[in-house]
């Protein structure tokens, strides 16, 4: 197999995973009596064929970029942060409390900055317990982060229905941040500047792993924890740092949604970016800059799912089905790719293929 064809294979396998998911998803819709072709056409026409659709895609891409940046750090280091949704919610709740609480006491830019920082700290704090349990006791972070997500969903709902509820309204929610006090739009657009934060985060991860010593150490840890330990690296600190950084960016994504779009935190609100984050970073082959177009594609799917649910009576969970199918087809494509071209195992790190399996990574790093 030529070098050019070998470089093209990862791209083709990711595209095949997307095509396979869309095909099977369409068959599911047809089996339920829905018009799959008409639904997909609606997604394209209203999503890509109108200024409203393009604006909404850009807005929805902002949290996906931040979540994807955090997952890139964790997965490249061999750490499986399954708790993105919980960290996202805690960060969103923190921003939803800090921003209205400081509004009017400080300049608006300072309020937004402190609220965003509060969101990042909230996500980081929620990742602290799994990080400590992983480093101190060797507990698998897949289990602990998943449990912490369940706690976050129920805790945030209880807080916003009780001590953090806006007493002036009936629905369980935090105080509303006025639209004029939210993150401003990028000049000349109707897209809030949180999108820039997402793009900067992904670019920062690219620099981290492409031009810094800490990034190289995290990469070595993800490829071979034993080699990292024998090289004198502090495996525990690197593991904890990767998980905490991932949690902080997930929390910042939650703050991004609250400060840029919603203006408040509501009980039982959970956009579920975790599954989408894993799907997009793997379809991007863990390559930071490739995450950017893939994130926009996933935001297109999210918008399309909303449009189809309203106009075509398609279940709102359809996009989650597509995301899960993409992960399944991606796993199959990688297995076939590696089985047919064994030499690609040796170049997996260079090509950006996924790291070790969760159990393997946890066992070696323990």
Q: Give the 3-state secondary structure of 132-179.
A: HHHHHHCCCHHHHHHHHHHHHHHHHHHHHHCCCCCCCCCCCECCCCCH
Q: Which pLDDT belongs to residue 226?
A: 92
CB contact set of 15 (below 8 Å; sequence gap of 6+): none
> Could you tell me if 167 and 181 are in contact, meaning their C-beta atoms sit under 8 angstroms apart?
no
Q: For 59-94, write each residue's pLDDT tens digit.
A: 999 999 999 999 999 999 999 999 999 999 999 999
Domain containing residue 214: 3-365
In total, how many domains does the chain have?
Answer: 1
Q: Which pLDDT belongs to residue 268?
A: 87
Q: For 224-279, write each residue's pLDDT tens digit.
A: 999 999 999 999 999 999 999 999 999 999 999 999 999 999 998 999 898 899 99
Q: Which pLDDT belongs to residue 1?
A: 52
Distance CA 286, CA 302 (A): 21
Q: Which pLDDT belongs to residue 4?
A: 63
Q: The domain spanning residue 229 has which CATH number?
A: 1.10.3470
Distance CA 178, CA 112 (A): 12
Above pLDDT 90, what percent of the chain? 70
Identify which of 194, 183, 182, 165 has the alpha carbon closest to the alpha carbon of residue 59. Answer: 194
Over 90: is that where the pLDDT of 173 sits?
A: yes
Q: Which residue has the higher pLDDT, 313 or 23?
A: 23
Q: Give, in order, the Cα–Cα distances in Å from 357 to each of 70, 99, 155, 187.
A: 18, 40, 31, 44
Computed over its alpha carbons, how large is the radius of gyration of the chain? 21
Quick one: residue 172, left, alpha or beta (phi over 0 = left, psi -120 to 50 = alpha)? beta
Q: Which pLDDT belongs to residue 350?
A: 42
Q: Which pLDDT belongs to residue 290?
A: 94
Distance CA 233, CA 78 (A): 15
Q: Which pLDDT belongs to residue 305?
A: 87
Q: Which pLDDT belongs to residue 364?
A: 44
């Amino acid at each position: 197999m030529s070098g050019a064809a070998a470089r093209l294979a990862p791209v083709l396998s990711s595209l095949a995973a997307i095509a396979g998911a869309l095909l099977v998803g369409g068959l599911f819709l047809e089996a339920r009596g829905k018009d799959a072709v008409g639904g997909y056409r609606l997604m394209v026409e209203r999503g890509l064929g109108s200024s409203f659709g393009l604006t909404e895609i850009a807005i929805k891409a902002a949290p996906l970029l931040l979540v994807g940046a955090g997952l890139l750090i964790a997965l490249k280091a061999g750490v499986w942060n399954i708790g993105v949704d919980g960290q996202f919610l805690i960060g969103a709740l923190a921003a939803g409390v800090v921003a209205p609480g400081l509004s009017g006491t400080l300049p608006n830019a300072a309020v937004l900055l402190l609220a965003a920082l509060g969101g990042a700290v909230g996500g980081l704090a929620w990742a602290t317990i799994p990080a400590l349990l992983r480093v101190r006791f060797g507990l698998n972070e897949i289990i602990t982060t998943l449990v912490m997500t369940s706690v976050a969903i129920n805790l945030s709902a209880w807080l916003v229905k009780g001590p953090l509820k806006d007493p002036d309204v009936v629905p369980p929610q935090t105080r509303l941040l006025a639209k004029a006090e939210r993150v401003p739009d990028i000049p000349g657009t109707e897209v809030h500047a949180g999108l820039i934060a997402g793009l900067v985060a992904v670019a920062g991860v690219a620099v981290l792993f492409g031009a810094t010593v800490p990034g190289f150490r995290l990469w070595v840890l993800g490829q071979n924890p034993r080699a990292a330990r024998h090289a004198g690296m502090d495996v525990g600190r690197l593991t904890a740092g990767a998980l905490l950084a991932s949690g902080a960016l997930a929390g910042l994504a939650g703050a991004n949604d609250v400060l840029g779009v919603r203006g408040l935190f509501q009980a039982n609100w959970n956009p579920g970016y975790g599954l989408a984050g894993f799907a997009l970073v793997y379809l991007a082959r863990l390559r930071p800059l490739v995450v950017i177009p893939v994130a926009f594609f996933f935001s297109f799917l999210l918008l399309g799912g909303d449009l189809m649910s309203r106009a075509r009576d398609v279940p709102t969970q359809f996009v989650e089905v597509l995301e899960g199918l993409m992960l399944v087809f991606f796993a199959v494509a990688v297995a076939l790719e590696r089985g047919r071209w064994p030499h690609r195992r040796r170049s997996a790190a260079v090509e950006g293929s996924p790291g070790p399996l969760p159990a393997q990574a946890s066992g070696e790093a323990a």
